[in-house]
């Protein structure tokens, strides 16, 4: 028996309880594949992004805005909204792009290439445009070390800590302890790395920073899961120094607005098809009929 008095005994064979509670129980399923036929919209630009401004989505829109800020016109993109709470990731068009049914997914029209997994999208764009990954093998490897670190670590933060601290139907002590310990350990890993390095992978701003900031930067600001005090985020000083530095980048400020459906209306750009959309089409400026 745990300290919660939970006496659950797993049955011989697991069966799906559709109503298991928790914030995401309506969309979680134990099977893959499409639930309905739905083509994806296509815009005019070379890159088509289907996403939502969760940390995994924001990684990619930061990268695209950074590439555009460097003058890479081929990085122009249409960002379409995928409402995961409404199950749009299970439409047939989206599943064709990403059989894993999770945002973000990218389609490169010129190359005829689909890219899914946010880390793979960052790597694809870095290679395609030749930016944000050091050119030398040692520097590139260090940046990839941290990119893969993020892809492996963030599920403990989101699916582990965030789920049990914020989303589960009850507060269970054992998993909250287990994932809090891991989350704090991860923050300490970053804090130590950033004590000796300007950016996560050294002295160059890279895809590693773009991947890690939406997760651990927001965590360091106490903005995710309402857990700032619980995790004592202010004690990670170097992580905070880096978080604030990245947050000041104009491309980061734009990237975090794209496909955003929560927070201040002036920071929500549900779909992005043109650079002017940041000025003209945020939710505070749209007529109710356009929403
Ligand atoms: N490893 C994936 C994770 C993507 C992911 O978990 N996406 C979430 C939103 S942050 C999602 O689409 N969830 C919908 C679902 O699980 O049905 C990546 O990095 O792209």
Gap from CA of 103 to ligand 1 centroid (Å): 5
Contact 126, 210 (CB under 8 A): no
What are the tokens at 203?
A: 């002295």
pTM here is: 0.95
Residue 79: predicted pLDDT: 98
Residue 28: predicted pLDDT: 86
User: What residue ranges define each of the domains in the chain, with the CATH number in brackets?
Assistant: 1-132 (3.40.30.10), 137-250 (1.20.1050.10), 260-290 (no CATH)
pLDDT in tens, 255-289: 999 999 999 999 999 999 999 999 999 999 996 65
Average pLDDT over residues 21-25: 68
**Nearest alpha carbon, ligand 1 atom 16:** 102
Interatomic CA distance for residues 182 and 188, integer angstroms: 10
Average pLDDT over residues 144-172: 97
Ligand 1 atom with least separation from CA of 28: 17
Average pLDDT over residues 158-186: 97
Residue 287: predicted pLDDT: 62
Mutate-to-test residue for ligand 1 from 53, 56, 118, highest number of ligand atoms within 8 A of CB: 56
Gap from CA of 159 to ligand 1 centroid (Å): 10
| Helix intervals (H) in 156-217 | 173-196, 207-212
Per-residue pLDDT for 21 more than 90?
Answer: no
Per-residue pLDDT for 190 more than 90?
Answer: yes
Ligand 1 atom with least separation from CA of 54: 10
Q: pLDDT confidence of 3, banded at 50, 70, 90?
A: low
CA end-to-end span of the chain = 50
Which residue ranges have their beta carbon within 6 Å of ligand 1?
A: 27, 54, 56, 84, 89, 101-103, 117-119, 151
pLDDT in tens, 95-124: 999 999 999 999 999 999 999 999 999 999
Ligand 1 atom with least separation from CA of 56: 10
Exposed, middle or buried by CB within 10 Å (0-12, 13-18, 19+), for 105? buried
Gap from CA of 245 to ligand 1 centroid (Å): 27
Q: pLDDT confidence of 1, banded at 50, 70, 90?
A: very low
């Amino acid at each position: 028996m745990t300290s919660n008095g939970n006496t659950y005994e797993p049955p011989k064979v697991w069966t799906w309880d559709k109503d298991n509670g928790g914030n995401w129980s309506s969309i979680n399923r134990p099977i893959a594949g499409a639930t309905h036929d739905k083509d994806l919209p296509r815009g005019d630009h070379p890159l088509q992004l289907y996403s939502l401004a969760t940390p995994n989505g924001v990684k990619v829109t930061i990268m695209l805005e950074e590439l555009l800020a460097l003058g890479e016109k081929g990085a122009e993109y249409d960002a379409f909204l995928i409402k995961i709470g409404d199950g749009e990731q299970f439409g047939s068009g989206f599943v064709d792009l990403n059989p894993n049914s999770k945002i973000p997914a990218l389609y490169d029209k010129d190359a005829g290439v689909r890219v899914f997994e946010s880390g793979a999208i960052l790597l694809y764009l870095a290679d395609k445009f030749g930016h944000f990954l050091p050119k030398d093998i040692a520097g590139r490897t260090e940046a990839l070390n941290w990119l893969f670190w993020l892809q492996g670590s963030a599920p403990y933060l989101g699916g582990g800590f965030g789920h049990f601290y914020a989303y589960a139907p009850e507060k269970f002590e054992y998993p909250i302890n287990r994932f809090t310990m891991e989350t704090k350990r991860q923050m300490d890993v970053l804090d130590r790395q950033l004590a000796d390095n300007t950016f996560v992978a050294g002295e160059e701003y890279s895809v590693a920073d773009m991947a890690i900031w939406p997760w651990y930067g927001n965590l360091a600001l106490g903005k995710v899961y309402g857990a700032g005090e619980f995790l004592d985020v202010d004690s990670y000083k170097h992580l905070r120094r880096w978080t604030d530095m990245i947050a000041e980048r104009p491309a980061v400020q734009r990237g975090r607005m794209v496909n955003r459906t929560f927070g201040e209306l002036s920071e929500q750009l549900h779909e992005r098809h043109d650079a002017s959309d940041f000025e003209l089409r945020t939710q505070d400026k749209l007529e109710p009929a356009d929403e």
